[in-house]
Every structure is written in C-alpha cells, then in structure tokens.
Structure 1
Amino acid sequence: MLTLRRIIGEGDTRQAIRFTPEDRRIPGSSLPIAASISGSLSVSTVEISNIDLYSLTLSVSAFLPPTTTNLTLRNCNIYGFGFHFFDGIDSLQHLDLSSNLLTVPYAGSTTQTSCSNQLCALETLNLTNNSLSTFPTVVFNIDNLKELYIGQNDITDFNISNSTFEAIKNLPSRSNQVRPPSIRHDSSNQLTPLC
C-alpha cells in the first residue's frame, strides 16, 4: 500500500519536470500527483523538494490525493497558489512551504474571526525562508495550530493585536520563539526588541 509520494530534485538548481495528465484527451486543469483506478488511495505524505512548480501551483486543481495529511513543497519556486490547487484536501495537518517565494501564508483566512479554507486542520505550518514582509496573523484562525515557523523572512511589520499576541504565547514552547527577554509586548501592541 503506497503511503508516501516523494519527488526530490538533485543538484543546486530546481529541476524542471513536466507533469502531464494521464488522459490528455480530457480537457481541464485537474492533474493529480497520485490516482487510483479503484478510487481508493492511501497516500498520506507527499514530499516535493527542489522541483520547479512555479506555474503548476497556479494552474492545476486537485493535484494532491484527498488522503494527504503531510505535505512538503520545499524549494519549489512557489510564489502563489491557484484557487483550486488544494481542492479535495480537508485533513492536511502538516504543511512545509519553506524556501519558496511566498508573500502571504495561504493558511487561515483573510479575516481575523475564523478559518475559511482547506487548510483549517493544520497543526504545523513551516513558512521559513520565504518573502513574508508582515507577520502572518491570519494563521492564528487555525484552531489546531501548534507549530509555526517563520524564520528567515523579511518581516518588517510586527504590528499585532492583543489576541494575536496571546495566540503566539499559547503555541507550545518548542516552536514558540517569543520569549523574554529578547522581545516583549508593549502598550502599542508591537513586539519590541529589548537591548
């Protein structure tokens, strides 16, 4: 029973791979990375590293098996996702999007009240080494979030609300990088470095 689908490019540069639908006669943008004739899949982990997915993530839908709970798309030249890339995924728990070009977290929602996309079951989110410039507060709409990694980004705006600060403090300590005396919460709701 296949539970892992792994594609890793070798070398210093991202490898270009052309993903082609099995039945090219059928029009549409559906392009699954794993499929089963019987319709039953057991793939829970998909790992793609050092492969150029620049246009694929914007143009295809239903790329991942619906059974995926652990997804790594590391160093894949991703700067965004199309509206339907994550279609069928509703139980993804661990998402590693490190070493890409993302400017937004793509998890949570655009509102501060609730999670409203397919990534609401996430427990771990790795956005390390991307192009985030503001602190990704929307990820705290994910009720199950236990680990958040945002190091090596160009975050210059750490302006957060009291509720976001409380959510940061409530992350388990192994992933919580917010500890005194390095930073503190002041009355203007900003994280401020202490000298």
Structure 2
Amino acid sequence: MTRPASGNGSTRAADTDRIEVAQLLTDAAASGVLGLTEYEDRLAKAYAATTYDELDRLSNDLPGAVTRGRRGPCRPAPSTLLLAILSGFERRGRWNVPKRMTTFALWGGGVIDMRYADFTSHDVEIRSYSIMGGQTILVPPEVNLDLHGKAVMGSFEHDVTGEGSPGAPCVKIRGLSLWGSVGVKRKKRKPA
C-alpha cells in the first residue's frame, strides 16, 4: 500500500489502497491461506475501510503484506474489447478487470465472471451489445451495480437483487440487446 510521507495510520486511504488490499486478500484466498467465508468478510471490510490502520488490520497477517508498499499505486488494466461473432468469449477465474470494457456478441455468446477477478479501478464501465446472441455477466455479492440498457425483441437485465457493500467497486453496465440477451447476475463464490 502506498502511504503518504507522514506514515500516520489514521490518514484516509484512497480507492487504490483498498483495491490493493483486496488483491492481497484474493491472493491469500487463492493460495488457501484464507477460507471463503473469512475472505468475503475481510473483503467487505476492506472496501468499507477509510484509514490505513483499518486496511493494515485486515492484511498484516498475510504473506506479502510487508512488501506491498514497494509496488507503487495500482494502475487500471487497459481497456478491453471482447468479440463473439459466430463464436464465443469467456473471462473466468483470476483476471484483471479494466476500467472500461466493450463486449459484442453477433450470433454468438459470452461469459464475464468477475467473482474471482481483481478490480484495478473503483469504477468499471461495461458496454454490452448483443445481436441475436447472448451474454452473461456474473458479479460477486459485494460489488455495486448500475444497469441501464435497451432491449428490442430481446432482454437486457435490469432487476438484479441485492445491494453491494459500501466502498466496493461500482460496475456500470450499458448497452443494447437486439433479438438477443444481456443477463447480469449477482452470484456468490464457490467454496474451494
């Protein structure tokens, strides 16, 4: 975590600091150091943390916590375009969610699963377009959603149940579905 020069633990943490601790927690869960329940609990607290002290309490017992200050600030992953033209695309497992992503399915389909992904930006914008195709976007329970899309003789999911955690990343999904579908689901992580 990149600390200000004062080193005062009660100093307010930035979004990039919360994202960095979230990535450290994900590493610990992926390697089996944290169980799923403890991981999700600490992750929700990390996104809600406002100071460096709170973030340190959540991560100081994990491997890599001592060296994390040397990495520098978290930078958003580059914008991404996912295409499925008479084919498919898939993003699952551990991957970096960019600040901006565009998905397009024409007579094809795709899956974007963010449950195990690393968010590199607090605000994520996804533009999804489906023409006679289908897309499914899976988000973990703590992520906040902002959905606005249009459907013509198809469907664009607008009613996703549940609220995200305060301070967690916000995923804004916009787009169009023409004789196709864009489905968004809030889904829990599976135990290892």
TM-score bucket of the superposed structures, by smaller chain: 0.3 to 0.5
User: Between Structure 1 and Structure 2, which shows a larger proportion of strand residues?
Assistant: 2
User: Between Structure 1 and Structure 2, which shows a larger proportion of helix residues?
Assistant: 2
